[in-house]
């Protein structure tokens, strides 16, 4: 725990800050949950499921998730192109934490 | 879980978003950890322990933590004034989640 307290360390260099940076925002958690439910998804299917997300936002968020190693992207060399997204092992390991955040929030948020 | 996916709900109205809003930033987590370690702390002691935090930032962060019900503030009517801060029960219940975020981050952040 002690090494996690960033007194003189920038937040992003601590374990806590790193975790926070990966899950911050609205869509990362949503996408990870959908992939967790469905196992494999294609771009269009994801956009349909999430509903109100633009092509650009979804595309950028997927790129960040891939860069951070939370999802994998597999492209098949065919016409029309087919691209599949999956949770990586690292991404899978975040699910219990997302669950905990959801549950704690549901139990504690003012109604 | 499903009610936690904020497709058409603003993030802050979901359990996940509520939790995120309470722990976001650098100092909330630090203050909560110190209170968890020490049980009771006074303002000056806290400022010393945290190190590089201004009076104003610490004061504002404590006010937010108190407003969100994560800490309690007890003022003793004496000269010189004495004010004690403690984790509330709600604040205590967040500690396992902070632990999990620290641990996951330490294990997974690129070195």
Confidence of residue B1 (pLDDT cuts 50, 70, 90): very low
**So what's the pLDDT on residue A32?**
92
Position B42 scores a pLDDT of 95
* DSSP codes joined into one string, A63-78: HHHHHTTSEEEEEE-S
CATH class of B26-102: mainly alpha
CB of A15 within 8 Å of a chain B CB? The answer is yes
| Of residues A5, A81, A98, A92, the one with CA closest to residue B27 | A5
B41 vs B8, residue with greater confidence: B41
- 3-state SS, residue A110: coil
Q: pLDDT tens, B25-82?
A: 778 988 998 898 899 999 999 998 888 789 999 999 999 999 999 999 999 999 888 9
Best A26, A98, A103 member to test B by mutation, with max B CBs in 10 Å, is A26
Beta bridge partners of A41: A85
Region B76-105: mean pLDDT is 93
Residues in A 53-82 with any Cβ partner in B closer than 8 A: none
Q: Judge whether A81 and A75 are in contact, CB under 8 Å.
A: yes
CA-nearest residue to B53 within chain A is: A7
User: What's the complex ipTM?
Assistant: 0.85
pLDDT at A1: 45
Contact: B15, A109; criterion CB under 8 Å: yes
Instruction: Give the pLDDT confidence score for residue B60 in this predicted structure.
Output: 95
Residues of chain A with pLDDT under 70: 1-10
Tokens standing for A12?
A: 């992003």
| Minimum CA–CA partner of A12 in chain B | B26
Q: How far A63 CA lies from chain B's nearest CA (Å)? A: 18
Question: How far apart are alpha carbons B86 and B84 in whole angstroms?
Answer: 7
Q: What is the pLDDT of residue B95?
A: 93
What pLDDT was estimated at residue B30? Answer: 86
**What pLDDT does B9 receive?**
67
- Confidence at residue B84, expressed as pLDDT on a 0 to 100 scale: 97
pLDDT of amino acid B51: 81
Contact A107 B14 (CB under 8 A): no
Q: Provide the 10 A C-beta neighbour count for residue A52.
A: 8
> A11 to chain B, minimum CA–CA distance in Å?
6
Residues A15, B50: C-beta atoms closer than 8 Å: no
Say whether B30 and A5 touch across the interface (CB within 8 A): yes
Contact assessment for residue B71 and residue B88, using Cβ atoms and an 8 Å cutoff: yes
Q: Which of B27, B53, B63 is nearest to A5 (CA)?
A: B27
Establish if B97 touches chain A: CB-CB under 8 angstroms.
yes
């Amino acid at each position: 725990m002690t090494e996690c307290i960033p007194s003189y360390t920038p937040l992003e260099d601590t374990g806590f800050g790193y975790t926070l940076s990966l899950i911050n925002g609205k869509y990362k958690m949503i996408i990870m949950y959908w992939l967790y439910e469905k196992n494999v998804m294609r771009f269009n299917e994801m956009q349909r499921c999430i509903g109100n997300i633009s092509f650009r936002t979804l595309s950028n968020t997927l790129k960040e998730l891939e860069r951070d190693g939370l999802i994998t992207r597999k492209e098949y060399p065919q016409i029309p192109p087919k691209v599949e997204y999956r949770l990586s092992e690292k991404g899978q390991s975040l699910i219990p934490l997302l669950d905990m955040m959801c549950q704690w929030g549901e139990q504690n948020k003012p109604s």
